Amino acid sequence: MFLAILKRLLMLVPVLIGITLLSFLLLQIMPGDPASRALGTRASAEELEAMRQLWGLDKPLWVQYLYFLRDCVTGSFGVSIFHKQPIITLVAARLPFTLAIVAYSTVIALVIALPFAILAAARRGRLTDVAIRQVFVVLIAMPPFWLCYVLILFLALGLGWFPTGGVGEGFLANLYRLFLPSLVVGLSTAALIQQSLRAALIDTMQADYIDTARAKGLRGREIFLRHVLPNSLISTISIIGVRVSWIIGGTVVVEKIFSVPGLGSLLIDAIVSRDLPVIRGLTVFFAVMVVIVNLITDICYALADPRVRLE
């Protein structure tokens, strides 16, 4: 197991190098001189020259890439023009909020998807099943940024149950304040989990070992809770793994709208202020996050299902 994980980690090295290379090239496709684009038209010639030297723009392209790679490996991810701080410092302050939304939205998605998946699997092919599927189709069709405002309109401005945005102090305050943003991200994940879990439940119910359990004399309820549900949930782990890139991407939109000071807000603000090193560093950081979470879900999957091997 340990060796397999080590092997997986080594296999990640080329992907990680590719990620930095792609993010580096991102800045190269920008039209014009990066320094003057970043500083604006009012910058003096000395300022521009200083900026070019700071970024190593006077060096050949491959040297520039090595500089960037060094920044990524040493963990600073570059220095922000606007904040004048290493990007990792900016990230560290905002990461908890983004991770909180990712985790919270996944919990919400599971809570919503689980009962409907069980109900749909139990009544498969019948009206209930079809109706549930159509409700989730409507959920997927709702654009997240619009859904944010609809929820603000009805639940925050209308009923006054929730704040229109912002974060609070402490776990409970944020559990309450991050509910709406996490709900928006969670709803689209819920639709996917419901579909796959329903299919997995139906598959498992037809497996031979369920017949064995029934032949042993176990009651239906016990069979479901002890055998069918746990085995079906394993497949949900891999679905969340595949989906995590979307979940993390979805946080960008909701953070901006609900004024959550997370990584997504940082990215949008960097785009608005044309803080190019932050755009580049954050893009790498986001991708590394996805790679790490994917690795964790793969390991969980292998631990939960002995038939799966980490290759």
Partner 1 sequence: MRLLRNLLRNPAGAIGLAMMALTAAATVLTPLLSPFDPFALDFANAMQPPSALHWFGTDNFGRDIFTRVLAGAVYDLRLALICVFGPMAIGVLVGLAAGYFGGRVDALLMRLTDIVWAFPFYVLVLAIVGVLGPSETNLYIAFFIVNWIGYARIVRGETLLISRLEFIEAARVLRFGRLRVMLRHILPNATTPALVYSMSDVVLTVQAVAAMSFFGLGVQPPAPEWGLLIVESIDFMREAPWMTIFPGLAIVWIGIAFALLGEGLSTALKPKG
Q: Using CB under 8 A as the criterion, which residues of the chain lie in contact with partner 1 when the complex forms?
A: 14-15, 18-19, 22-23, 26-27, 29-31, 137-138, 140-147, 149-150, 152-153, 157, 245-246, 248-250, 252-253, 256, 267-268, 270-272, 274, 276, 279-280, 282-283, 286-288, 290-291
The residue among 130 and 173 lying less far from partner 1, judged by its C-beta, is: 130
Neighbours of 259 (CB within 10 A): 14
Q: Shortest approach of partner 1 to residue 307 CB, angstroms?
A: 20
Q: Shortest approach of partner 1 to residue 261 CB, angstroms?
A: 17
The residue among 86 and 281 lying less far from partner 1, judged by its C-beta, is: 281
The residue among 10 and 141 lying less far from partner 1, judged by its C-beta, is: 141
Q: Shortest approach of partner 1 to residue 253 CB, angstroms?
A: 6
Q: Shortest approach of partner 1 to residue 268 CB, angstroms?
A: 6
Q: Shortest approach of partner 1 to residue 15 CB, angstroms?
A: 5
The residue among 137 and 207 lying less far from partner 1, judged by its C-beta, is: 137
Residues in Cβ contact with 111 at an 8 Å cutoff, skipping those fewer than 6 apart: none
The residue among 93 and 271 lying less far from partner 1, judged by its C-beta, is: 271
Residues in Cβ contact with 7 at an 8 Å cutoff, skipping those fewer than 6 apart: 310
